[in-house]
Amino acid sequence: MNYRKFSQNYAKEIGGEYREYDDTQSVIIVPLKRGRFQTVTGHIVKHPGYNREVIHLKSKVCELTYDIPFQECLEASKDYPYTKFVVEDGFLKVEAINFLVNLKEDMVKEMITEIAEHADDWELKITGKDIH
């Protein structure tokens, strides 16, 4: 899969916006219901343990604070087929990772949609705003 080309086409397909950083990293701004948007980043890296390329799809939920309902977030993760919550660089994020060779375009579309929707839902629930 050529992730860069896929990202460009998918952003166009959903009426979103595509931004490229380099051959292995890009951003799709995903339009959501209620006029909201969510940024999903895609990074392709070589997994050190498996020596194969993986794709990391992520979206920020909010900055880390002590009032985040972490237990509720983790309990909700059981209902998401692709995504999980992670803490990274001072933020609560929603992330999905998979080996690039295993992915079909429809699956990546589902992953991006799930990440954007869940990150946005939790962002609204925790902050009451549309930040990321």
Angle ∠(30,79,95) on CA atoms, nearest 5:
45
Query: Per-residue pLDDT for 34 more than 80?
Result: yes
Q: How far apart are CA 67 and CA 10, in angstroms?
A: 35
> What are the tens digits of pLDDT across the range 85-95?
999 999 999 99
Task: Determine contact, residues 54/85, Cβ cutoff 8 Å.
Answer: no
Query: CA–CA separation, 99 vs 18, rounded Å?
Result: 22
User: At residue 1, does pLDDT exceed 80?
Assistant: no
For 61, the token pair is 């939920």
Q: pLDDT-derived band of residue 27, with 50, 70 and 90 as boundaries?
A: very high
What global pTM score does this model have? 0.91
Question: In the prediction, which pLDDT does 64 show?
Answer: 94
Report how many helices (DSSP H) and strands (DSSP E) the chain contains, helices first. Answer: 3, 6
Q: What SS3 class is residue 65?
A: coil
Give me the mean pLDDT over the 95-115 stretch.
93
Provide the pLDDT for residue 132. Answer: 59
| Predicted pLDDT of residue 56 | 94
